[in-house]
Structure 1
């Protein structure tokens, strides 16, 4: 099939949406599909308000139409609810063509965290966006239940995977020796931004040492406020896996993620997880039980409980999540345009 994917989140951005979609695109191409990704790199862009590292396309409609005409797609999937996503939405709606969408980000909650704007109007806009499609892919059961209660329809399960070769407990970084700090080591990996709620983790009274791996707009402010925390900046490939594996507990304080790929990456490296009892940790760690970590309303209690988890049980649990299954589910939900379009 000739598959058109419209997304406002694409390389060189580094986040869970990009990692998921780039893996899916590579997998679809390996299966013989022709895939055209329409991302911000195809348009004139401006910095996203409050998050300049993310670029937003300006007036993408005409350029999007030209790209579509040249590619002649047979199916359309829309990843994001930003300018490119809306351009694709309008293009398909005007022609009465089917499309599918995916719900990657709790956008209303992000807006509320950054701009203090009510989430109700945002949910109404997103409901109109997604309900117009043939199916909306969602990563977890708790997210599906939440969206269904808000009036979203045609919600379809879509799991995630983990690169078991890249993320492994084989090479474990010794944080205590490298920085001459006491254990246990509580580590967080990901984008250092307000919606990730990292401040909730760093404010905890925990034994040992806290480490934050990653970069983002909130890093400088958090470094000033929490001078005893080690901030490493962004790490990649083997260094990243080694960082995960070197932690005694991976702490995931986010309240707004729809899945949390880093949860699987940590478990694949043999490191137990602690998080709030919300979408993502609830579906992954909660399902695995105390042997791989802990979730609850008290993040400090979850962190201390996760110290007692069985590191040997973490990787086998992560091995249940495969990218092949993720790509299968994506491929099966696509809705071809009617002939002779």
Structure 2
């Protein structure tokens, strides 16, 4: 298959969507598919078409704070890139993506889409998360701008599937995990950093932003009777970093702010004791899967707008959304029950095998094939209908002439 992948950023390995796109593209290329990537980039790569950066008037400061790069649409580049592809796969419902969809649709090229960005993420960054009708409007808006051009949507989780059905999306929905790399994330023996050795290490990986709610775990640790024994590791960057540093000092908790490369992250996860995930808006969270793939037992907030708590194997791995007191009890439980932690560590490592990247690629490959067949059949049907209509137009005058001729002869 010849596929054009349209994704705003393909270089930033701190973004979950970028990591997912790169893994899918890499694996599909290994299987012989020709993939060209359209993205904002300053780093040339084979089969990558680079676009300029898109800057949003009035809101660019929010984009910059979140360390996100958006791509600027270019209709002529889209038209040239789409000439020789079987279909277009669009990742994000933003101007770059929906302009590409419109161009592809006009050219008669099938559009496949994915749901990687929840409108709630935008609402949080605009500090409008408490206005419910705005989120409903967000789902309607992106459906109108992007998803109406698409017959099929990739849903990373059942949660996304259910959410889109709730918002009256009528496309064919396919539940397939983004998948994790099991060749890199697995249980391994590692040596702990010296300053971790006498600590119970609580790991959090992800962007430091409002919807990720890392302040909840900080308050939970401050309340713990084991406060002095706990080391909180916040691995990520984002607009809340300075605020969280001030909060850590105020609460007097042991906190390490860092960022791990994809090479160092598996070792760091293996060296920690538990993983805490507080995000209130999440379509999947590969970072959480990668964590428990190494045997790190998770404790996950049960937000109604997050898919992540569905990974929990029992209630000991869940806490009430935003409730730092409940989270504190769960952290203390795992500190007090090290043998049970070992048992669950093995179960979670086994559980992660359901989300292996290779299995996801097997599934998406079949979805792609059926998607193309469906569009080829639809195209053939339309051509047949067009031929019939043209045939009727040609046949009708002939029939009338024959009737006139018969009348004259009689």
Q: TM-score under structure 1 normalisation?
A: 0.88
Post-superposition Cα deviations, 1:109-154, rounded to whole Å, max 9, x if no partner, equal: 1121111342222111122222431111111112211221111222
Post-superposition Cα deviations, 1:275-305, rounded to whole Å, max 9, x if no partner, equal: 11133322212xx2358x3344443344345
Structure 2 vs 1, CA of residues 230 and 126 (structure 1 numbering), >3 Å: closer, same or farther? Answer: same
Residue in 1 that maps onto 2:136: 120
User: Does the residue aligned with 1:211 lie in a helix, a strand or coil?
Assistant: strand
Residue in 2 that maps onto 1:299: 327
Residue in 1 that maps onto 2:71: 57
**Aligned residue runs from structure 1 range 4-83, under 5 A:** 4-41=4-41, 42-47=50-55, 48-52=60-64, 53-69=67-83, 72-83=84-95
Q: Hey, what's the Cα distance between the residues in 1 that align with 2:72 and 2:180?
A: 34
How many residues are aligned here? 333
Residue in 1 that maps onto 2:174: 156
Structure 1 residue 7, shift from structure 2 partner: 1.0
Structure 1 residue 325, shift from structure 2 partner: 1.5
Structure 2 vs 1, CA of residues 327 and 3 (structure 1 numbering), >3 Å: closer, same or farther? Answer: same
- Structure ID, larger Rg: 2
Report if the CA contact (8 A) 1:9-1:80 is conserved.
Answer: no
Structure 2 vs 1, CA of residues 267 and 179 (structure 1 numbering), >3 Å: closer, same or farther? Answer: closer
Residue in 1 that maps onto 2:231: 209
**Aligned residue runs from structure 1 range 166-315, under 5 A:** 166-172=184-190, 174=192, 177-178=194-195, 183-204=199-220, 205-206=223-224, 207=226, 208-227=230-249, 228-278=253-303, 279-285=306-312, 288-289=313-314, 293-297=317-321, 298-305=326-333, 307=335, 308=337, 309=341, 310-315=344-349
Q: Hey, what's the Cα distance between the residues in 1 that align with 2:330 and 2:148?
A: 37
Residue in 1 that maps onto 2:396: none
Report if the CA contact (8 A) 1:274-1:306 is conserved.
Answer: no
Residue 100 in 1 paired to residue 112 in 2? yes
Q: Hey, what's the Cα distance between the residues in 2 that align with 1:203 and 1:303?
A: 12
RMSD of aligned residue pairs (Cα, Å): 2.4
Q: TM-score under structure 2 normalisation?
A: 0.74
Q: Hey, what's the Cα distance between the residues in 2 that align with 1:326 and 1:264?
A: 14
Residue 329 in 1 paired to residue 363 in 2? yes
Structure 2 vs 1, CA of residues 134 and 49 (structure 1 numbering), >3 Å: closer, same or farther? Answer: farther
Report if the CA contact (8 A) 1:212-1:230 is conserved.
Answer: yes
Structure 1 residue 221, shift from structure 2 partner: 2.2
Q: Hey, what's the Cα distance between the residues in 2 that align with 1:68 and 1:168?
A: 39
Report if the CA contact (8 A) 2:201-2:273 is conserved.
Answer: yes
Structure 2 vs 1, CA of residues 165 and 97 (structure 1 numbering), >3 Å: closer, same or farther? Answer: closer
Q: Hey, what's the Cα distance between the residues in 1 that align with 2:2 and 2:162?
A: 32
Structure 2 unaligned segments of length 5 or more: list them: 42-49, 129-133, 381-410
Q: Hey, what's the Cα distance between the residues in 2 that align with 1:290 and 1:111?
A: 30
Q: Hey, what's the Cα distance between the residues in 2 that align with 1:195 and 1:148?
A: 23
Q: Which moved more, 1:296-305 or 1:81-90?
A: 296-305
Report if the CA contact (8 A) 2:73-2:95 is conserved.
Answer: yes
Structure 1 residue 27, shift from structure 2 partner: 0.9
Structure 1 residue 93, shift from structure 2 partner: 2.5
Q: Hey, what's the Cα distance between the residues in 2 that align with 1:304 and 1:99?
A: 49
Q: Hey, what's the Cα distance between the residues in 2 that align with 1:135 and 1:242?
A: 38
Structure 1 residue 25, shift from structure 2 partner: 0.5
Q: Hey, what's the Cα distance between the residues in 2 that align with 1:173 and 1:198?
A: 27
Q: Which moved more, 1:113-122 or 1:81-90?
A: 113-122
Report if the CA contact (8 A) 2:5-2:88 is conserved.
Answer: yes
Q: Hey, what's the Cα distance between the residues in 2 that align with 1:247 and 1:203?
A: 19
Q: Hey, what's the Cα distance between the residues in 2 that align with 1:74 and 1:94?
A: 14
